[in-house]
Structure 1
Amino acid sequence: MNCLKVSLLLFFFQLSFGQQVPKIAKKIYTTKSLGTLPPPVLDGILNDESWNIVDWTGDYIENLPDENTEPIEQTKFKVIYDKEFIYFGFRCYDKDPKGIVKRLSRRDGFEGDWLEINISSHYDQLTAFSFAASVAGVKSDGFISDNGKTWEGNWNPIWYLKTNIDEKGWTAEIKIPLSQLKFSDAPEQIWGLQSTRRYFRTEERSLWQRIPLDAPGWVSEFGELHGLVGLSPKRQIEMQPFVLSKLETYPKEEGNPFKTGHDFTINGGLDAKIGITNDLTLNLTINPDFGQVEADPAAIVLDGFQVFYDERRPFFVENRNIFNYTFADDQDNLFYSRRIGRNPNGQPNLPNGAFMSIPLNTTILGAAKFSGKTKNGWSIGLLESVTGKEYAKIQQNGLTRKELVEPLTNYLVARAQKDFNHRNSYIGGIFTATNRNLETDFLNFMHKSAYTAGIDFMHNWNNRKYYFKGNAVVSKVDGSEEAITATQRNMTHLFQRTDAGHLQVDTKRTSLTGTGGKLEIGKASVGNWRYKGSFIWRSPELELNDIGFLRQADEIKQNAYLSYETLKPFGKFRKITTYLDETSNFDFEGNYNKMQYTLGADAVLKNNWNLVISAIYKPVNYSNSILQGGPRFRYSEDFFKSISITSDSRKKFRYNFTLYDNQAKNNSFSYSEINVGLIYQPINAFTLSVNPAFSSNKNKLQYVTQTGINTKIRYITANLDQNTLSASIRFDYNINPNLTIQYYGQPFISRGRYNQFNKVINPIAQYYADRVGIFNSNQIDFNEAENRYEVDEDVNGTIDYTIHNPDFLFVQFRSNMVARWEYIPGSEIYLVWSQGITSNGNPNENLVSELDSQILGRKPVNTFLIKITYRLSL
């Protein structure tokens, strides 16, 4: 708490006597309409007559590493427009044109020398469109929100680019359809404008509009584009039908009618985008293809919690910033789009001698999304999606029947936010609804309906130097007694905890209502210091996981953060950021569960190497969840350290190294991990990377299971020795900017072995060995035939309970090879070969031999896919 007090004192001192935010003069560029002149020919050579109607602008200023100094090479540009397009012409001077680096990459690669345009056509000081062009002709684009804090790179608009190298350096011509931008219908408009150039040889960034490193944001500091007269907003109408054929081969299972060795499907669908106004867009999808180009990384979960995975599906990615509602920690969100189309929830009991087939994903029958931002500062989002019924097919004695495993479900998300006070403040709200048509008693374990609502706000003052923001959410789930009882008992809530005086399972309840929220205040700009303090709560009844993401409820958290950033290079350093973070946690009964201190530093050297170090100390650490419904459990105090070193990213051979180490008092548990990244780019068109990783997890009190003797529950832990080995392998071959081949592969193996089984006797004892009682050789015996441990706790010759052998060895290999050809802008052909193997090996063998036998010694599942899309703009 001392750190919090210091941060608050610093905050109020700076509030009263701190520096005022310096005013940087806004640059203004005035463009002109082409009128009756022909548009420039897009060839990368700026010799068209149309370019002569406007003047050059330039005088770029260095931003990194030495802010507010003259860059090594200057840049200048022109802007013109007509009724359909806006055109940019760039001249990037270079005294050594042969030294210009033309690295190829797939789209959004940001390799080699490049330049970037940011256009805030709403001029709302919060959002902007980004278009970047590399000298090799590779396009990168994205949507910027939250005044530069968020950059969404999966936005892929249609635009055109040509570059050329000459004796003065290099040039670029860019043509952007006005239909890809959002702007008002005002007769004369002003847009925010910024341009960045990367000079690769020294890793220098220079800007058209100067933005100091301690500025309050990015978009709010842009220069201005004037002269936009008589622009007519374009109502964008795009349709993108697709056709997909897929062949899957896998090991045949004799007698199983669902595993014949191969499956072939052909499918089609349609994505559409309709500009209702130039501000608001309606996205529609029918029978969408939501297949992943790259598989989710493998993971072994021993704590029982769900794993958070990023969203990559284009329909949900576009305008994601509008629907986002992170209300507490980074992953807690009222809308987690991967709930839509997830695996079916039901799992029927399979009779002996029967075979079953369950769909991998729930079919999305259709989805629509209405979203955008108006000229008046309203951000609006409305999403509606319907997923269909899914059935398990069960065959027994030659007869086939179906059993419903996922009901017809409707998902709704409504989001609105309003900027005001000259864009320095906003207030917003969100509402989500999940409704299921539960037709059978078998699905009564699911919620019939789930609703959440929230409000959020933010206020900046003193030219965005200080801020105050917050939110509050409420949730309500309804269902059968079975469903609500299961919710009370799941890992997020654990109402059955034996020592929780404020909680108890009520098997008669048919609904739960909970709340949560966050308040935060801090200093965001000016000078070297930054600080913030926050308060978070999640009530025990809060439940978001029907369409949101919530890891754990029943928590009250306080956080204080203080950081120092250098603003000028010094000595051997380009920049250093250091920080101190303090966090404390309580539950709603008032138990003091955690105190954590974090000290870290991030240093960028002048040779472009990067060094990141951190240390975390936890003097107080209790868990309400580790015994999965059992009493509150104490962890020994521990000390975590990490160091990461990254070499110069400009080199053809580059590498990184990361080491994690965590040690608890009395050696009650330890964790160490090493990650190595090797990247080699022998030619501009080809990149190979290998990222091996090894981790060792040793825990003398790892939770195993809970069982009963008479009417008393026993919580069983053991000494775990777990080793994990994995490697990510990638290569990119870029024939040209529009034709690329990528490969991704990941072998993964994790082995865990347990010994010294014990029962919990005093879960909050200070010394770790006093928390448990270890079974001696007379109390526990391993039954090899049944693969289980048998416990005779009172040594009377009668087995009191059994423990299934928890030893494991999990092996997985996933790979994808994708050839992508963008044959015309926005239209693509994909050729995909995907391969996967998942198996359980012998935990008594070593990692390397089992990795070899389980991957090379088994037949994989192969998927061959051809997908053709065609984007039609009307």
Structure 2
Amino acid sequence: MQKTFVVVFAFCTFFCVKAQDSIPTVPKLIYTTEPLKDNVVPVIDGTVDDQAWGLVDWSSEFIEREPDENTPPSEQSKFKILYDDKFLYVAYRCYDSNPEKIEKRLSRRDGFAGDRMAIIIDSYHDKRTAFSFTTTAAGVKGDEFVSQNGDNWDDSWNPIWYTASNIDSEGWTAEAKIPFSQLKFGKAKEQIWGLQVTRLFFREQERSVWQRVPQDAPGFISEFGELHGLIDIEPQKQLEIQPFLVKQYDTYPAETGNPFRDGTDFRLNGGLDAKIGITNDLTLDLTVNPDFGQVEADPGAIALDGFQIFFQEQRPFFVENKNIFDYEFANGNDNVFYSRRIGRSPQGFPSLNDGEFVDVPNNTTILGAAKFSGKTKNGWSIGLLESVTGKMFAEIDNNGQRREELVEPFTNYLVGRLQKDFNERNSFIGGIFTATNRKLEANLEFLHKAAYSGGIDFRHSWKNRNYFIEGNIVTSHVTGSPEAILRTQESLTHLFQRTDASHVEVDPNRTSLTGTGGKINFGKVGGGNWRYETGGFWRSPGLELNDVGFLRQADDIRQFANLQYRFLKPTKLLRTANLSVRQSSAFDFEGNYNRIQYDFRGFINYANNWFTEGGATHKPRIFTNTTLRGGPRWRFSEENFYFVFAGTDRSKKFNATVGYVNSQAKQDNFSLVRYVLRTRYQPFDAFSLSLNFEYEENPSKTQYITERDFSGTPRYILGEIDQRTFITTLRFNYSINPNLSIQFYGQPFISRGTYTNFNFVNNSIAKDLSERITIYNPNQISQSVEGNFLIDEDLDANTDYEFDNPDFSFVQFRSNLVMRWEYIPGSEVFLVWSQGVTGLGDPADSLGRTLDNQIFGQKRDNTFLLKATYRFVL
């Protein structure tokens, strides 16, 4: 089967290359602007009737892009651009034959709701990155930094600019004023910038553009038209200082006798953020004692496989310009830089005596951080981040006597990133370097003293960027005490102690560990209906990145091949659709053939804008090195997986998505059933509500529990688990005006697991499940008064070993209610009320009873926070 796939893939590749050697190019449009004269500037009120706009002509060559590319749009649009020494001015006219149907939905900044226009400016003119400024018919602004030739849109970028809109008898109009200080460009007599203007005609979900971008184009920014006429404008160096003040009041259930949990806390905090334009291309961001109090809580999650859970970065300082520092070197979330390591929860925990109470900080204090980043006119992308976190102490109370114990050391983090464009911006080569250095003390010798990583990456595109080859390599080196390096060797990421692994072994005397990783792949991303990609990646056994990066598993080699067909022209039945197949396989560095799988995916967007997506996966071979946590290689039974989702038109005021996921392994080794319902309702323009439900059943006959010794032989104990998880997420947004909004986020999360049919590993790689495990018979297993399970494996009436009852019921509720007021551009007030409760329920209870007892019936932790910022623009 695998050979057949390779032959078919090779044939398709050859056919696609030969059939599309000559790909027509689209003529570039040019808009030539003019400077304002006699200091007469337009008033930004959205009416476009100022005298100043008469200096230039309207440009109205808009063409439809979605759904029916290269046809006249349902409603035409036009725009004008002017400039002076400090600002770029833009005017829009959006015709609409039914102005009463214009969708003027309010939202907070970057809500991107309703009818809207956007100007997207590639001021670097590198054909890969751009700055996007969106104005909606309701006057809401949205702004994004665009990278990866349009594949990545980062709405965390919040420049200072001005906009307004107005609805009249012909449709709607808008104006925007964009300071040159918020754009990046080099010195030149005349600036030549990439330019695109787009419109979303919301009720038809129709997108039109000024510069045509074919549906089979290899990217978005590389296809832009050009803005000419910017003569003798001077780069504006940015200088912004933003102090903040935070008042925080916490309430929580008091704990009898615990002096650290008396029921209330009050904190007053302050800090400073600054943005300094070193040059117009490069910016220095500074933060002192940053506060992230208004950041939304992480979603609930539990991982029975033992691996760390990846959470998205939400803190503004680290999110802005995140794309420059990204270095995804393999697949998934693996990254040389994972900013959530900075300010993480303390990794140590103090030793306590009976009757002692402890107060451990939730997070490590970031004393200060600086970020130097940007892109120069000649194609250098530069990123340098330095951050220092302070010592963190747990405070311990023993009958009024207090002492402190270090739980996180003084740590310095350094990340450097560099890329250079060349070959007319069709290629780049770059590198990254990270360093983590800790000032360790005796009780924290289990941490690495130092961790370093470095890498080189490249990408080359040709034939109008339709074809590409890219790759990267990473190396890491960590040092520390023998205890620290032993801990790394035996961690779930590495498992050097695996009993059947001959290519790795634990060395308790090592004081360093070195490894490599990387990726190479090539493919076709544009031109015609076909797309394909093939390649592979590796992570050596000694690769370790988790001091300031993210690495889930080392000792892994993977190969993959993807083939996709895209339907580019709409029909009477559908707007767009695509079908894809994928094959992948996995090995380890000992040469074990661990996995092969085949995937099929499809997506259809119907003519009425409803959609369906689905897929299926066949996994005839599944081996893992991690399931038994240091034991031998483990085999899972053959698996078949499929999913289907369907949804209504997302432009309607009420829309919904339903989904079903099903996975089933042979011999009922394991299974997964998941039901999903997502709804969104906007009863009026200022208010939107979404409510999402997810219920999952995930039983398995071989869920790992623990390891015990039996007569000198390790026993890997498993059990049949009945795991059920329920998640509900509620969000609403009420926008009083474009600059004042109230948002709510709430999520109860419940996961319950009960175990039966305890068993132990017999032959971990046997194909038949009955040979792979042996189930304890009733005479071998009993339960103590305390609830532990006692095993008399040899039936001699003596307990050979025991283990804890693994049943669990994890309960969590988190919510945020945030009022945000941007009282002047760039300056904000946040009023936040956060609630939370985390606990353990009774596994014997139903999910409904657990929800009632542990969430609705419990007193919750409350945080009330007031944060005010003021941005000085100098």
Normalised TM-score (structure 1): 0.99
Task: Tell me if the contact between 2:566 and 2:579 (Cα under 8 Å) persists in the aligned partners.
Answer: yes
- Trace 1:50-129 onto structure 2 (pairs within 5 A): 50-129=52-131
Cα distance in 2 between the residues matched to 1:822 and 1:20: 51
Q: Provide the secondary structure at the position in 2 that maps to 1:301.
A: coil
**TM-fit CA distance, 1:5:** 4.2
Deviations 1:561-612 (A, max 9, x none): 0000011012311011100000000000010100011001011001111111
Cα distance in 2 between the residues matched to 1:749 and 1:394: 32
Cα distance in 2 between the residues matched to 1:241 and 1:371: 21
Deviations 1:92-142 (A, max 9, x none): 111111111111111111111111110000110000000111000111110
**TM-fit CA distance, 1:12:** 4.2
1:873 matches 2:858: no
Cα distance in 2 between the residues matched to 1:681 and 1:358: 43
1:412 matches 2:395: no
Cα distance in 2 between the residues matched to 1:318 and 1:858: 38
Q: Provide the secondary structure at the position in 1 that maps to 2:448.
A: coil
- Trace 1:555-566 onto structure 2 (pairs within 5 A): 555-566=556-567
Task: Tell me if the contact between 1:385 and 1:412 (Cα under 8 Å) persists in the aligned partners.
Answer: yes
Q: Provide the secondary structure at the position in 2 that maps to 1:101.
A: coil
**TM-fit CA distance, 1:255:** 1.0
1:396 corresponds to which residue?
A: 398
Cα distance in 2 between the residues matched to 1:131 and 1:8: 43
**TM-fit CA distance, 1:21:** 2.4
1:570 corresponds to which residue?
A: 571
- Return closer, same or farther for 1:718/1:520 CA change in 2, 3 Å cut-off: same
1:536 corresponds to which residue?
A: 537
1:863 matches 2:863: yes
**TM-fit CA distance, 1:292:** 4.9
Deviations 1:794-840 (A, max 9, x none): 11111111110000011111111001111000101111000001111
2:821 corresponds to which residue?
A: 821
Cα distance in 1 between the residues matched to 2:849 and 2:12: 58
Task: Tell me if the contact between 1:194 and 1:208 (Cα under 8 Å) persists in the aligned partners.
Answer: yes
Between the aligned residues of both structures, percent identity stands at 57
- Trace 1:336-485 onto structure 2 (pairs within 5 A): 336-440=338-442, 442-485=443-486
1:505 corresponds to which residue?
A: 506
1:621 corresponds to which residue?
A: 622
Amino acid at match of 2:113: E
- Trace 1:664-743 onto structure 2 (pairs within 5 A): 664-743=665-744
2:808 corresponds to which residue?
A: 808
Amino acid at match of 2:841: G
Task: Tell me if the contact between 1:681 and 1:688 (Cα under 8 Å) persists in the aligned partners.
Answer: yes
Amino acid at match of 1:72: S
1:301 matches 2:268: no
**TM-fit CA distance, 1:11:** 2.8
Cα distance in 2 between the residues matched to 1:465 and 1:691: 39
- Return closer, same or farther for 1:477/1:212 CA change in 2, 3 Å cut-off: same
Q: Provide the secondary structure at the position in 2 that maps to 1:851.
A: helix
**TM-fit CA distance, 1:397:** 3.1
Q: Provide the secondary structure at the position in 2 that maps to 1:338.
A: helix
1:595 corresponds to which residue?
A: 596
1:663 corresponds to which residue?
A: 664
Deviations 1:297-333 (A, max 9, x none): 0011100000001011111111111100000003110
1:218 matches 2:220: yes
Cα distance in 2 between the residues matched to 1:372 and 1:33: 27
Amino acid at match of 1:123: H
Deviations 1:160-199 (A, max 9, x none): 1111111111100000011000011111110000011011
Q: Quick one: which of 154, 158, 161 aligns to 1:159? A: 161
Aligned residue pair count? 872
Cα distance in 2 between the residues matched to 1:547 and 1:7: 38
Deviations 1:509-546 (A, max 9, x none): 11011001000010110000000101101100000000
2:322 corresponds to which residue?
A: 320
**TM-fit CA distance, 1:290:** 2.4
Task: Tell me if the contact between 1:623 and 1:633 (Cα under 8 Å) persists in the aligned partners.
Answer: yes
Task: Tell me if the contact between 1:760 and 1:773 (Cα under 8 Å) persists in the aligned partners.
Answer: yes
Amino acid at match of 1:807: D
1:744 corresponds to which residue?
A: 745
1:231 matches 2:233: yes
Normalised TM-score (structure 2): 0.99
Superposed CA RMSD: 1.0
Amino acid at match of 2:172: W
Q: Provide the secondary structure at the position in 2 that maps to 1:110.
A: coil
Cα distance in 2 between the residues matched to 1:98 and 1:529: 42
**TM-fit CA distance, 1:699:** 0.2
Cα distance in 1 between the residues matched to 2:195 and 2:287: 33
Cα distance in 2 between the residues matched to 1:295 and 1:274: 30
Task: Tell me if the contact between 1:600 and 1:613 (Cα under 8 Å) persists in the aligned partners.
Answer: yes
Task: Tell me if the contact between 1:184 and 1:279 (Cα under 8 Å) persists in the aligned partners.
Answer: yes
Q: Provide the secondary structure at the position in 1 that maps to 2:698.
A: strand
1:526 matches 2:524: no
Amino acid at match of 2:817: M
Task: Tell me if the contact between 1:188 and 1:230 (Cα under 8 Å) persists in the aligned partners.
Answer: yes
Which segment drifts farther, 344-353 or 587-596?
344-353
2:489 corresponds to which residue?
A: 488
Task: Tell me if the contact between 2:296 and 2:314 (Cα under 8 Å) persists in the aligned partners.
Answer: no
Q: Provide the secondary structure at the position in 1 that maps to 2:699.
A: strand
Amino acid at match of 1:270: L
1:848 matches 2:848: yes
Q: Provide the secondary structure at the position in 2 that maps to 1:10.
A: helix
Task: Tell me if the contact between 1:306 and 1:551 (Cα under 8 Å) persists in the aligned partners.
Answer: yes
Task: Tell me if the contact between 1:469 and 1:520 (Cα under 8 Å) persists in the aligned partners.
Answer: yes
2:198 corresponds to which residue?
A: 196
1:245 corresponds to which residue?
A: 247
Amino acid at match of 2:788: R
**TM-fit CA distance, 1:16:** 4.8
1:133 corresponds to which residue?
A: 135
Cα distance in 2 between the residues matched to 1:145 and 1:845: 49
Cα distance in 1 between the residues matched to 2:495 and 2:393: 31
Task: Tell me if the contact between 1:293 and 1:818 (Cα under 8 Å) persists in the aligned partners.
Answer: no
2:777 corresponds to which residue?
A: 776
Q: Provide the secondary structure at the position in 1 that maps to 2:13.
A: helix
Cα distance in 2 between the residues matched to 1:703 and 1:292: 39
Amino acid at match of 2:677: V
Task: Tell me if the contact between 1:292 and 1:313 (Cα under 8 Å) persists in the aligned partners.
Answer: no
Deviations 1:209-266 (A, max 9, x none): 0000000110000000000000100000001100000000001111111111100000
Q: Provide the secondary structure at the position in 2 that maps to 1:562.
A: strand
Cα distance in 1 between the residues matched to 2:11 and 2:352: 64
**TM-fit CA distance, 1:398:** 2.3
2:178 corresponds to which residue?
A: 176
Cα distance in 2 between the residues matched to 1:205 and 1:15: 30
Task: Tell me if the contact between 1:4 and 1:582 (Cα under 8 Å) persists in the aligned partners.
Answer: no
Q: Provide the secondary structure at the position in 2 that maps to 1:322.
A: helix
Task: Tell me if the contact between 1:34 and 1:80 (Cα under 8 Å) persists in the aligned partners.
Answer: yes
Amino acid at match of 1:494: L
Q: Provide the secondary structure at the position in 1 that maps to 2:9.
A: helix
Which segment drifts farther, 556-565 or 8-17?
8-17
Which runs of 4 or more aligned residues in structure 1 lie more than 4 Å from their structure 2 counterparts after TM superposition? none
Task: Tell me if the contact between 1:37 and 1:50 (Cα under 8 Å) persists in the aligned partners.
Answer: no
Cα distance in 2 between the residues matched to 1:627 and 1:675: 31
Deviations 1:340-386 (A, max 9, x none): 00000001232111001100000000000000000010000000000
Task: Tell me if the contact between 2:293 and 2:865 (Cα under 8 Å) persists in the aligned partners.
Answer: no
